[in-house]
Structures are given as C-alpha cells and as structure tokens.
Amino acid sequence: MVEETRLSVDDLIFPLFLVEGKKIKQEVLSMPGIYRFSMDELLIEIGACIELGIKSFAPFPSIDQKLKDSYASESHNRQGLYIRSIGAIKKQFPEVCLVTDVAMDPYSSDGHDGIVNSGEILNDETLEVLGKMALAQAQAGTDIIGPSDMMDGRVGYLREVLDQGGFKNVSIMSYTAKYASAFYSPFRDALDSAPKSGDKKTYQMNPANQREALTEARLDTEEGADFLMVKPALSYLDVIKLLKDHFDLPIAAYNVSGEYAMVKAAAQKGWLDGDKIMLEILTSIKRAGADVILSYFAKEFAQLKD
C-alpha cells in the first residue's frame, strides 16, 4: 500500500541487435541471453515480446566490415539492413513504438560517432550525415529517433531536417547526458564498433561531471528534444534525479550493456540472485526519476511478471 515505486513493462524499451542474413540467432558472448538476430528472426522475437506486453523496441545494426567507411555511408542506404528492417518491423507490427539509433559508429570504419580527421572529430560535418540517417529512418516509418552520438547542436539540426522533410510527428529521444563510460564494451562487442583509435572523451561526458548534464539538458530542451536521456543508468542515478528535478520533459535512462553483463556474470557463478538484482536495479533507476528505461532485461522482466 505504501510502496512508492512500481515497475511495469510499460516503462521499458527493449534494445535489439540486428545482423544481415537469414535464420541467424547468435548469442552475444559478453551478454548471455542477448542475441544478434537476422531480420526474419528479429520479427519473430518482436512478436514474442509483444505477447509478453513489451511495446517499445530500440534496434541497433551490426554492419559487415566491408560496408563500413569513414563517412558511414551505409547508414542512410535505403536498401541497407537497418532502414529495410525499420520498414519491415513497422509493416508487420504497426502498433510497436520504435526508437531508432542515429549515430555513425555502427557504420564507421573508424568506430567513432563522428567523422574523424587527423584524430579529431568534425562536429558540424557529422551533423549532415546524421541528418541523412534520420530522414531515411523517418521515411522508413520510425516513431522516435535516438541520437546517441553526442555531437553539439544535433538535436536542433535533426528537428529542422525532420520538420522540413514532413516528419513533424517523429519525436527525438536525445542521449542528453551520455558519459564516456567503460560500461559500453559488451555493446561494442555486439556491433564490433569499438573505436579504432583514440576514445570518445572529446564528445561524451566526463563521469566526474554532474552540473554539465544541466547544460546539455538545457541545450537539448531548447533545440526541441522530446525526451532527455541519461546513460549509463546505474552509476548515474544522481544525474537522473537532477534532470528529473529541473526539467519537465520525460526522462529516459539507458541501463547499458555492461550493467547487464555484470549481473549475468555474477548470477552464472551463483554469486548473486540474478532476478532479484534485476528488479532492484530497475526499481532504483525508476525511483531516481526515470520515466522510461532502455534495458536488456526487458524481456526477462516481462517473463518474470507473467
């Protein structure tokens, strides 16, 4: 009766990994229970998740090395894996809410979220690539774009591109306070997208900073974001709370791959009770102020409830 925080499957967005091919369901080594799916298998998986009550999905593509280049050209190829899949998912399941990824790294031969020139990231030139990507995704039928790149000014730029393209109703879930974190490595394994040189510290935030998140959130709000995201979640609960207290937009939190991997590894060894830890972690993220949580635990949580 006096419980303050209740988790529901409605709070969750399920990230999914996609690969080219047929009949592929390949477990990610560092993420037990999470798979790379070919498009046919992905549609089956989404169908199963819908049965469990999950309504929202965030697909990410694992792109063949041969298709990667420094300009992430494959990212806006209408016949490419990602754009085709968005169309296929929305055709088969028009009722699902898709949050699609806008960032260069899955398609970049440099493994960065921006165009690299002599070791530096070209912010403004990158915006043009992100714009093409967002437009291709909108045309394929996405509901929400999720710019996960952390370039400056990209929310305003993408809003403009979408509006001018006739996609006023496509929302933007901005990765607002995205930290340069070591918790992303299983995700980079899944997509084979680790930076080939350098790191992401010139565009992702310093884990030591909290107030900087307010600046990022103010800019994203002014530029037209519809959601503000904090990422990772667990080591940044204070940042989730801070944004919740200062902004009226819905707050999203990304319970990232490394947070999932830690729990799975300990549970496999019998050191922790995986189900209880999952519930405690998700509850803490919601208690801190997240309205929506992207989590690899989404399906397991939904199954637990049933």
Q: Is 178 a catalytic residue?
A: yes
Mention every residue, 6+ apart, whose C-beta is less than 8 A from residue 56.
12, 13, 14, 96, 97, 98, 99, 292
Q: Is 231 a catalytic residue?
A: yes
Buried b (16+ CB within 10 A) or exposed e, 256-273: bbbbbbbbbeebeeeebe
User: With CB under 6 A as the contact rule, which of the stretches 1-9, 184-192, 274-282, 284-292 interacts with ligand PBG?
Assistant: 184-192
Report which residue type is found at 141: G
**Does the protein bind ligand PBG through residue 14 (CB under 6 A)?**
no
- We find the least distance from the C-beta atom of residue 229 to ligand PBG, in angstroms, to be 10
Asked whether 165 and 138 are in contact (CB, 8 A), the reply is yes
- We find the least distance from the C-beta atom of residue 174 to ligand PBG, in angstroms, to be 13
Q: Can you tell me the distance from the alpha carbon of 20 to that of 16, in angstroms, rounded to the nearest whole number?
A: 14
Residue the block writes with tokens 């307010």? 214
Taking the chain, what is the end-to-end CA distance rounded to the nearest angstrom? 21
Among 11, 41, 74, 113, binds ligand PBG (CB under 6 A): 113
Residue the block writes with tokens 């974001």? 225
Among 184, 227, 236, 301, binds ligand PBG (CB under 6 A): 184
68, 178, 200, 244: the active-site residue: 178
**Does the protein bind ligand PBG through residue 137 (CB under 6 A)?**
no
**Does the protein bind ligand PBG through residue 256 (CB under 6 A)?**
yes
**Does the protein bind ligand PBG through residue 216 (CB under 6 A)?**
no
What string marks each residue from 22 to 61 as x (binds ligand PBG by CB under 6 A) or -?
Answer: ----------------------------------------
Would you state the structure tokens that stand for residue 147, as one six-digit string? 């710019």
231, 244, 264, 299: the active-site residue: 231
Per DSSP, which regions of the chain are E strands? 12-19, 25-28, 31-38, 56-62, 97-102, 115-117, 120-122, 144-147, 171-178, 227-231, 251-255, 292-295
**Does the protein bind ligand PBG through residue 148 (CB under 6 A)?**
yes
Residue the block writes with tokens 């109703």? 169
Nearer to ligand PBG, 32 or 40 (CB): 32
Count residues binding ligand PBG (CB under 6 A): 11
Among 108, 174, 257, 295, binds ligand PBG (CB under 6 A): 257
Q: Can you tell me the distance from the alpha carbon of 120 to that of 198, in angstroms, rounded to the nearest whole number?
A: 9
Contact footprint for ligand PBG (CB under 6 A): 103, 105, 113, 148-149, 184, 187-188, 200, 256-257
**Catalytic annotation, residues:** 178, 231
